[in-house]
Structure 1
Amino acid sequence: MKFIHAADIHLDSPLTGLSAYADAPVEMLRTATRDAFSNLVTEAIEQAVDFMVIAGDLYDGTWKDHNTGIYFCKEMGRLKKAGIPVYLLYGNHDAESEMTKKLQLPDNVFAFDSRKPSTFRLDNLKVALHGRSFKEKETLENLVTGYPAPVPGMFNIGVLHTALEGNAAHASYAPCSLDELHAKGYHYWALGHVHEHQIWEGASTVVFPGNLQGRHIRETGPRGAVKVTADGQGIQDIQRLFVDVLRWACLDVDVTECKMLSEVVSMIGKALDELVESSPSTIPIAVRVTVTGKTAAHGDLFGLESQLRAEVLALAVAMGAERLWIEKVRVATSAADEGKALRARADALSDLQDLLQAAESDADFLKSLQDELLGLVNKAPLELQTSVPYFKAIRAGELVDLVREVRPGLLSHLAKVE
């Protein structure tokens, strides 16, 4: 017996972080979650699985565009022709969705009740699936306690949308513990809500398949579902199925040995080459490049950050726009000598270093600096208001960290210019 366990599909949820580029892959960004789901349906048909389980967040919140639901019905029609039923549990995003409340699903799709736990029995496979959908988004009760006892002589699967314990990065919907899941006596727990793939063995096998398609830079690496194979003795194999159509990656490049901007660009180019070579040739990569290290090139990077970004974008285009996209270029370097060389010079730059260091504890200077910067902050576009981390500190008058961070880069850059 084989089945696919998927979750957190978030149909038609947009991919964020690339849309600002003039030559961004707009169509791919718009249809990525659909394309990944179509890939999953194709896998189910080609591998002739017995059924599919979707453990919540099929849709993406309060959207009322029924084209999303119509697309889902079309894909379910493909599974129906192949004789594959689908067992669907609604999660917190589905509870918000108009499609969940109104759209009639094909007759090979069986949705778990939201009022109480329900059980679907597949007598020909000796499988029992137990689950309870979310009725409200803010479902904060422990649903597991109400799930029924396992059906004797059946392979029992619990389907649940939950934050589980210890997942602080996700809203604590339907909280429960691993011990509670193991104690229920089911063979397999098909979980959803947490977007990272995780698996626990024990009295039960407990699995988060992860989301089907990474949607931003915080969801890096391959994404997809799992295929579970079982027999009368229990679970025999759990295999990940990667169905994503675009992957996100964070690339840290240590430029400690570099002395100038051109060397930094060259090192980033090599790192990008290695990333592309090690990735599947059919899947584009969206990359955040972070430049790190104590380096003599820090002054160049401080003063020419926009040029560095342009250079990295040019590298990506040269490698092929269909293979590589740059989400962001971040500079997180520091000066190689931390100001020691400047102090030894005893000139204007040395004096400036002393002044900037003293400014960190000069209340009048910090207040004057805040007044100057507020004029810029208040005129900044809306997208910058949330993306620039120091804006909040400037408004609050907390500028010591800002001055402390700018000082070595500014001095290093001035020394380079000189």
Structure 2
Amino acid sequence: MRAFRFIHAADLHLDSPFKGLSGLPETLREELRESTFAALDRLVELAQAEQADFVLFAGDIYDAKERSLRAQLRFQQALRTLAKHGIRSYIVHGNHDPMLEGYAAKLSYPPEAHVFGCGKVESVVIQATDGMLLARVSGISFDRAAVTDNLTPGFSGQGDGLFHIGLLHTNVDGDGEHGNYAPCRLSDLLGRGVDYWALGHIHTRRVLHERPWVVYPGNIQGRHIRETGARGCFVVSVSEQGEAELDFHPLDVRRWETAEVPIDELETEQQVKDALEDAMEAAKAGAQGRPVLLRLTLVGRGPLHGRLRRSGFLPELASMLREASDGSWLESLADRTGAPVDPVALAEQSGFLGELLRLSGEAGASAEMLEDIGAESFAQLEMNPLLASLLAEITEEERLAWLREAEELAIDLLLPGIEARRNE
């Protein structure tokens, strides 16, 4: 067996609309609109630089089943460029770009590019330019967006001694932050004669198992604040003995990051400003030379809490920080601070505030109770289809953050009255 190298990428989401960013400068909005294409260009350049034998695309090439013509043409050009340099491509479609739904232009791909069908698992043998057999790739595409069947039973070993790669778009072990499409268990992937599972669908980079390898590379460009950190692909080198070595390469053009700035030891507005500027510089320094879209959150308890809650304070501070930024952009500035009190001690007291804090604590410790409170609170909003779709995307972490903010608001509103009555 000859040593070889391949690239494993997934979830390109070409021509993603980047919704909800109307407050950004036009130049930045345009750069974000082009960022998925720029990340694809970097992938093609990486494949050439690494002298990869082939590239795997594990689904969701496009952002929506009504894929734009521009996205399809740009992907076609990428495949042609790879082929021109002797690099083959192997592609499956996922839930965002199913084969039999939506708009697909009739475009010709180079013969070096192979798209796996959706009827059953196909298996192809990869040959080097000198005719030597390198590996076997088996894969299957989604025929429709909502595939709920486990597709892993169609994969099996071939007994030919070749390094076997399974190319699949799937949700392993029911990741709650992504749609449960083509669901399977990790145990379903093991013992099927596959040496490397090249997966797509989960946007966070993960290695779920080694030997056999079960790998999500994540998406190639973060698209919102929940997709923080480096985004890219894996370069996989396979030795003559069939041992794989993985090397992650970032491809993203703009990087999303979050950071918390505690106020516990701060006493003046100048100190707050300095701390926020330090956090922005730290995020920029850690982004490998990429400009950052940063969400900063003020946290902790201290005497500055009351001044931060003054009308207009945070918007004015955020505006100043944006004006002073160089290349990076402050996506938002949030206040999650609290008054300099002990909320645990308050929850132990009798009275309305104590009871409210005890109930909030119980809700925060129970995912089911938190969901029930949210369902009751949002019932009227969910009557609007647009709002209902937005509420459906709210994570448990976001619900918990809202609950904590409500706690602090209750303390701010009720505690002064309680203390005034005590002092009478």
Q: TM-score with structure 1 length normalisation?
A: 0.80
2:271 maps to a residue whose letter is E
Counterpart check, 1:312 vs 2:318? yes
Cα gap change, 1:182 to 1:387, in 2 (>3 Å): closer
Of 300, 305, 314, the residue aligned with 1:298 is 305
Count of residue pairs brought into register by the alignment: 371
Q: Where does 1:402-417 land on structure 2 (aligned, <5 Å)?
A: 405-409=408-412
Runs of 4+ more than 6 Å apart: 358-361, 382-389, 400-403, 411-415
Matches of 1:161 and 1:152 in 2, distance apart? 25
Distance 1:262 1:105, change over 3 A: same
Following superposition, the deviation at residue 102 of structure 1 comes to 3.9
Contact kept? 2:174, 2:180, Cα under 8 Å: no
Which residue matches 1:190? Answer: 198
Structure 1 distance, partners of 2:17, 2:45, is: 22
2:281 aligns to what? 273
- 1:13 deviation in Å? 0.6
Aligned counterpart, 2:82 = 79
CA contact (8 A) 2:63 2:96 kept: yes
**Structure 2: distance between partners of 1:84 and 1:226:** 16
Larger Rg: 1
1:89-168 aligned within 5 A: 89-95=92-98, 98-100=102-104, 102-123=106-127, 124-168=132-176
| Counterpart AA for 1:248 | W
Higher mean alpha-carbon deviation, 263-272 vs 49-58, is at 263-272
> Could you give the per-residue CA deviations for residues 167-220 of structure 1, whole angstroms, max 9, x where no partner exists?
121111111122221210211110000011111334411110000100000000
Q: Which runs of 5+ in 1 are unaligned?
A: 340-353, 362-376, 390-399
Measured in 1, the distance between the counterparts of 2:302 and 2:391 equals 24
Describe the shift of the 1:412–1:250 C-alpha distance in structure 2 as closer, same or farther (beyond 3 A): farther
1:145 CA displacement: 0.5
**CA distance 1:270–1:168, change in 2 (3 Å):** same
Q: Is the 8 A contact 1:185 1:203 kept in 2?
A: no
2:186 maps to which of 165, 178, 188: 178
Gap change, CA 1:45 and 1:170, over 3 Å in 2: same
TM-score, with normalisation over the residues of structure 2?
0.79
Is the CA contact (8 Å cut-off) linking 1:293 and 1:332 kept in structure 2? yes
Residue 334 of structure 1: which of 322, 334, 338 is its match? 338
Q: Distance in 2 between matches of 1:360 and 1:201?
A: 45
Contact 1:260 1:300 in 2 (8 A): no
Residues of 2 paired with 1:384 and 1:329: CA distance?
23
- For 1:34, give the aligned amino acid: F
Deviation at 1:138, TM superposition (A): 1.2
> Deviations for 1:142-168, whole angstroms, at most 9, x for unmatched residues?
111012323422110011110011412
Q: 2:115 corresponds to which letter in structure 1?
A: A
What do residues 275-324 of structure 1 show as CA deviations (whole Å, max 9, x unaligned)? 2233322x1100111110011011011114x332332332243231x2x1
- For residue 244 of structure 1, the aligned residue among 252, 255, 263 is 252
User: What amino acid is aligned across from residue 108 of structure 1 in structure 2?
Assistant: E
Does the aligned pair in 2 maintain the 1:298–1:412 contact within 8 Å? no
Aligned-pair identity in percent equals 32
In structure 2, C-alpha distance between the alignment counterparts of 1:401 and 1:243, rounded to whole Å: 36
Name the amino acid aligned to 1:27. Answer: E
Quote how far apart the aligned CAs of 1:18 are. 3.4
